[in-house]
Chain A
């Protein structure tokens, strides 16, 4: 079992004909993901290594029965690509692209909630999602994840997610699903969305959470954990020593007006009963301890 995507998920790649889209789309297919179509209005009727290209998401959904879409379109086109995907009939959209303006993100987030309440958007600016052994959508190197569970992972950072998957694999611990929610100010999927899904998934027995400075998503997650989670959680927050007022790579990773510090996030999570590590290795060790006691 897994959350959001599994071995049956059929995926359309918007931007499959571009260099990034083609590279990762084919890697995802090699992993076993059902990559059923690509879209590009100028190249409809052609194919990318056997994957048919359609003019629009709606057409691709009609022909293939796809339920998910992955966006590898450059930042200026992401706003219309997200809305096209929702209108086209998929219910899960993964937007990998980084550099999308925050106003666009706020706009399509609210547009989806209003007009397409059943559509789940992941990203933008995220590594994607992998249910190891079943489905990999995005830019995660599939082989660093061990299939089978019992741990679910949700993370705001790409490379720290890989680090977490790698450390768990080294310890022989598998993962049900690993969701990279991305480091932008308005992520389509939140920690809470993933925690709720992991809580409901019978195969996920524990959750690892990787946050970073900026915003209050971790504090909100802590409150949700206190009230709703029965499964044990370990966490790590990056940016303990980040100076205020400086964006640390991610558009959303900034401490401003004394808000969004790592310390406040770690304290909120600890108060909610989460085991918080001071670095990724410590968080991995804490998870190993949790798993050994399951």
Chain B
């Protein structure tokens, strides 16, 4: 789950990190009111789940209320990498002397937490990593041992921040690590972490990704789930508890298991088609989950054919076939369907499907054949 900047800052503030006062605004009027409350100058900042806001014109300095109004007008509705700006964060402006970078994330190959700190902040860390890798001080932290103050101090020294920033940086980084672990974050990033003109280290931006698997011990994360960026199809699928990712094509894909679903998307591409989605219905493949899956795909106006790719393991072919037939009774389908059913009792399952087959409900012997048939149907070549 990705947090907006303002949510990230609220999260950081709970752990005692210094952030600027600010208010959320959905309209130009609200932005103006927020700026009046805070007092100019302020920053007008687009709240979107993507990077590159500054370059896209989504972050502006406003010296006066008139400027707040002008910037808010321009930024609301702006398209930043496909994300439309619907909310603004109006924040008291800071006097910036220097910009740094700080983050914690999981290093999957080291299987330890990785802290990164750089005196070169304000730009994308990937760019720094590429052009000037020695400018990033890295620390690997054993989750069992945690981050001690001594190790944190050495790490900050290694990053060669100016002397006057060291104390403040150590204090913030220890709190940032606490927020990262305690909050079950996949990523916490401050870019930039700034030194102000009057010598204080301060959090100027917040990028936070939380682990959705940890919701059971963080009840408030349900609120963050509500503000995730999802297209309409993804929203509908999410509300039905389906693992769905919207794609750009015309062939709807349903498969059981994440790997098989991914593989099905690949194969549709390989035979010259374009998948409309990734959809994993899990191992069971019963009528209820199949109905939910078909409904979601049926509601996608781009879909012109559907490929159902099921491998029966513990769940037998008959059960899967009956589930599909049952689901088709419940949903009025707009697009033709190709089914590939393999694995346990696949023959028995295919026999159940047999009497229902037609131009618009076909079976295929293999995954490749199924993908080819579905792609041909989407292109209208079989009609």
User: Which residues does A use to contact B, with CB under 8 Å?
Assistant: 27, 75-76, 99-103, 106-107, 109-111, 114, 139-141, 143-144, 155-163, 166, 183, 185-186, 210, 212-213, 215-217, 220, 236, 238-243, 246-253, 257-258, 278-281
Contacts and interface: CB of A to CB of B under 8 A. Distances in A.
Nearest to A211: B259
A28 to B, nearest CB: 11
B273 to A, nearest CB: 11
Contacts of B280: 249
Interface string B139-158: 00011100000000000000
Contact of B258 (A139, A240, A249, A278): A249
Contacts of A163: 260, 263, 311, 342-343
Interface stretch (B10-18, B190-198, B213-221, B322-330): B213-221
Contacts of B368: 279, 281
Interface in B331-369: 342-344, 366-368
Contact of B259 (A101, A159, A217): A159
Interface of B: 106, 108-109, 111-113, 126, 142-144, 181, 184, 186, 211, 213-214, 216-217, 243, 245, 247, 255-263, 265-267, 269-270, 275, 278, 280, 283, 311-314, 342-344, 366-368
Given A103-B181, A163-B260, A166-B342, A242 B265 contact: yes
Contacts of B243: 249
Looking at B106, B247, B270, B311, the one whose CB has the most chain A CB atoms below 10 A away is B311
Contacts of B275: 241
A166 B213 contact: no
Contacts of B283: 139, 158-159
Given A139-B283, A162-B343, A107 B261 contact: no
A109 B255 CA distance: 31
Given A106-B111, A238-B263, A159 B181 contact: no
A243 B247 contact: yes
B211 A249 contact: no
B262 A213 contact: yes
Contacts of B217: 76, 101
Nearest to A240: B266
A102 B213 contact: yes
B344 A144 contact: yes
Given A76-B217, A139-B283, A252-B108, A159 B266 contact: no
Nearest to A161: B259
Nearest to B107: A106
B342 to A, nearest CB: 7
Contacts of A236: 263
A78 B267 CA distance: 36
B266 A238 contact: yes
8 A-B pairs closest in CB distance = A157-B259, A249-B258, A159-B257, A160-B259, A159-B260, A141-B313, A101-B214, A238-B262
A152 to B, nearest CB: 18
Given A110-B112, A185-B108, A279-B368, A246 B311 contact: no
B311 A159 contact: yes
Contacts of A213: 262
Given A76-B217, A250-B258, A281 B367 contact: yes
Looking at B112, B184, B186, the one whose CB has the most chain A CB atoms below 10 A away is B186
Nearest to B216: A76
Contacts of B257: 157-160, 249
Given A109-B111, A158-B257, A212 B262 contact: yes
A253 to B, nearest CB: 6
A2 to B, nearest CB: 20
A186 B111 contact: yes
Contacts of A216: 108-109
Contacts of A210: 259
Given A110-B142, A156-B259, 4 more contacts: A139-B313, A163-B343, A166-B311, A279-B263
Given A139-B314, A216-B108, A103 B262 contact: no
Contacts of A27: 314
